[in-house]
């Protein structure tokens, strides 16, 4: 909510429905959540590649990239993580209003923060929570940056899965086993889900 009483929402003449009609597909937020190393970014970009091939208008918001600009002033305390997700939620909602399928790849460890994003969008079905289910042991094996090792040594504080909790979704819209399934299989599952929802047409 704005702190100023002197700002007013300007209603656009070109609506989301107009843009979806032009795009020939629906708009939504695909919210990829999971531990560091669970494959969120890899899957989000691979899904975008497939959607692009199908002629869809997309955008990927990646956790690390966003912290270089929009959220560069935030750390990793619980409050900062909450603010990080709040900002991303509003940016993603703006993309949806422009008729875009926006794919976000954020650990977003707290249920309440993910639920707040779901409440930001116009319709609940605009927010699709995709849980990248991957055992922490596999995530650590994939960790080429050595972040888990550093966190276990106490060199990194508030690290999700080690010194800070990750709250698994209770009722994710889609659960993808990124720890065991091939990337192509995971992409197919996400794309099939979008077709079942009627967001994108079948080929």
pLDDT of residue 71: 80
For 59-106, the pLDDT digits (tens) are: 999 867 777 777 887 878 888 888 888 899 999 999 999 999 999 999
Evaluate whether residue 5 is within a structural domain: no
Phi, psi of 43 (to 5 degrees): -70, -45
- The bridge status of strand 28-33 relative to strand 58-62 is unpaired
Evaluate whether residue 3 is within a structural domain: no
Give 26's pLDDT tier (boundaries 50, 70, 90): very high
Domain span including residue 128? 23-195
Evaluate whether residue 93 is within a structural domain: yes
For 151-172, the pLDDT digits (tens) are: 999 999 989 999 999 999 999 9
pLDDT of residue 152: 94
Evaluate whether residue 12 is within a structural domain: no
Evaluate whether residue 4 is within a structural domain: no
First to last CA, the chain: 41
Summarize the confidence of residues 129-137 as an average pLDDT.
Answer: 97
CB atoms inside a 10 Å sphere around CB 164: 18
Locate all alpha helices (DSSP H) within the chain, ordered by sequence.
16-23, 40-53, 63-66, 78-97, 111-120, 136-142, 147-152, 183-196
Give the dihedral sign, CA 121/85/14/198. negative
What is the domain-level CATH number for residue 66? 3.40.50.300
Residue of 115, 190, 72, 33 whose CA lies nearest to 199: 190
Q: Annotated catalytic residue: which of 108, 157, 163, 164?
A: 108
Evaluate whether residue 202 is within a structural domain: no
Q: How many domains does the chain have?
A: 1
Q: Is 5 a catalytic residue?
A: no
Evaluate whether residue 124 is within a structural domain: yes
Evaluate whether residue 99 is within a structural domain: yes
Summarize the confidence of residues 16-45 as an average pLDDT.
Answer: 94
């Amino acid at each position: 909510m704005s702190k100023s009483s002197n700002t007013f929402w300007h209603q656009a003449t070109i609506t989301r429905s107009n843009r979806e009609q032009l795009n020939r597909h629906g708009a939504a937020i695909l919210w990829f959540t999971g531990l560091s190393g669970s494959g969120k970014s890899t899957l989000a970009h691979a899904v975008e590649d497939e959607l692009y091939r199908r002629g869809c208008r997309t955008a990927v918001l990646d956790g690390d990239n966003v912290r270089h600009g929009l959220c560069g002033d935030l750390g990793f305390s619980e409050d900062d993580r909450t603010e990080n997700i709040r900002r991303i939620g509003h940016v993603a909602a703006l993309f949806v209003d422009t008729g875009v399928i926006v794919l976000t790849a954020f650990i977003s460890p707290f249920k309440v923060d993910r639920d707040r994003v779901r409440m930001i969008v116009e319709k609940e079905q605009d927010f699709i929570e995709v849980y990248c289910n991957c055992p922490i042991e596999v995530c650590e094996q994939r960790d080429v940056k050595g972040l888990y090792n550093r966190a276990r040594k106490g060199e990194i504080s508030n690290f999700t899965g080690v010194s800070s909790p990750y709250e698994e979704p209770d009722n994710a819209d889609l659960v993808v086993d990124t720890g065991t399934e091939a990337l192509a299989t995971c992409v197919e599952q996400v794309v099939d889900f979008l077709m079942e929802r009627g967001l994108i047409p079948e080929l």
